[in-house]
Amino acid sequence: ETGVTQTPRHLVMGMTNKKSLKCEQHLGHNAMYWYKQSAKKPLELMFVYSLEERVENNSVPSRFSPECPNSSHLFLHLHTLQPEDSALYLCASSQVRESANTGELFFGEGSRLTVL
Amino acid sequence: GESVGLHLPTLSVQEGDNSIINCAYSNSASDYFIWYKQESGKGPQFIIDIRSNMDKRQGQRVTVLLNKTVKHLSLQIAATQPGDSAVYFCAEIPSSYKLIFGSGTRLLVRP
């Protein structure tokens, strides 16, 4: 148990569906992240939220839409995805201190997404 | 550009032997590095970290070495056990909020 919970663990969707991935952290951290993990590729940073404001958007297509309603919750809304978007989507949180780089990231177990 | 890469995609070791996993990074501005372990079906888990003002840090059965001259990191696991079988990632942190991960090395432990 890492303190970061992701749901659902597995999701299969068609290209015209709309679905959402949910992440909740119980660690009191002030930053949350979405990463994409594809086979044989490095972990790719998608979005970062710090104190509920988006501070990083790594050229992610608009069919992925993040939402951070509070410091404990992070969503990734999915719409008209492509088969190549099939991957493991990992949420993470960390405590970022002023004038310091982010510390250790705590990851959830991931949501395995399959786009048909 | 920024990149973190691993020299060996798969490492097979005999149980009880020591393992060494290597990583090269390219951003001279990075001052913090982390090794993560990812077991099948799980998210990455923190193993050990090191800041750029150090060249060696030891944990329980693990040691991380940092060579800033050649931008190289290594993770040493002593007396490798079956439970150590996983994919290992190095990550560099060149700026706030940004972790850049390497492609990962799969460690296989032979009984």
For residue A40, list chain B residues with Cβ-Cβ distance below 8 A: 103
More confident call, A17 vs A53: A17
Separation of CA A23 from chain center: 7
Angle at B65 between CA B62 and CA B70, to 5 degrees: 155
Nearest Cα neighbor of A2 from B106, B96, B37, B83 is: B37
For residue B32, list chain A residues with Cβ-Cβ distance below 8 A: 101
pLDDT band at B2 (very low <50, low <70, confident <90, very high): very low
Over range B62-82, report the average pLDDT: 96
> A5-29 burial, b for 16+ CB within 10 Å, e for fewer?
ebeeeebebeeeeebebbbbbeeeb
CB contact under 8 A, A96 and B32: no
| DSSP three-state, residue A83 | helix
pLDDT recorded at residue B3: 44
CB contact under 8 A, B43 and A42: no
| DSSP three-state, residue B27 | coil
Residue A66 in contact with partner chain B when CB distance is under 8 A: no
Contacts of B76 by beta carbon, 8 Å cutoff, 6+ apart: B18, B19, B20, B21, B62, B63, B64, B65
CB contact under 8 A, B49 and A108: no
Residue of B nearest to A109 (CA): B43
More confident call, B64 vs A57: B64
Distances from the Cα of A90 to the Cα of A3, B29, B42, angstroms: 13, 26, 10
Separation of CA A7 from chain center: 11
pLDDT band at B8 (very low <50, low <70, confident <90, very high): very low
Distances from the Cα of A40 to the Cα of A60, A64, A74, A95, B3, angstroms: 19, 22, 26, 29, 15
Q: Would the pLDDT of B4 be above 60? A: no
Which pLDDT tens digit goes with each residue over B30-54?
889 999 999 988 899 999 999 999 9
Considering only the beta carbons, identify the residue of A42, A96, A109 that sits closest to B102: A42
> Which of A2-11, A43-52, B89-98 is predicted with the least confidence, judged by mean pLDDT?
B89-98
Mean pLDDT of chain A: 89
Residue whose token pair is 């404001």: A53
Mean pLDDT of chain B: 89
More confident call, A98 vs B82: B82
pLDDT recorded at residue B5: 46
Q: Is B62 exposed, middle or buried (0-12, 13-18, 19+ CB in 10 A)?
A: middle
Distances from the Cα of B30 to the Cα of B21, B51, B63, B64, angstroms: 20, 9, 19, 16
Contact A45, A64 (CB under 8 A): no
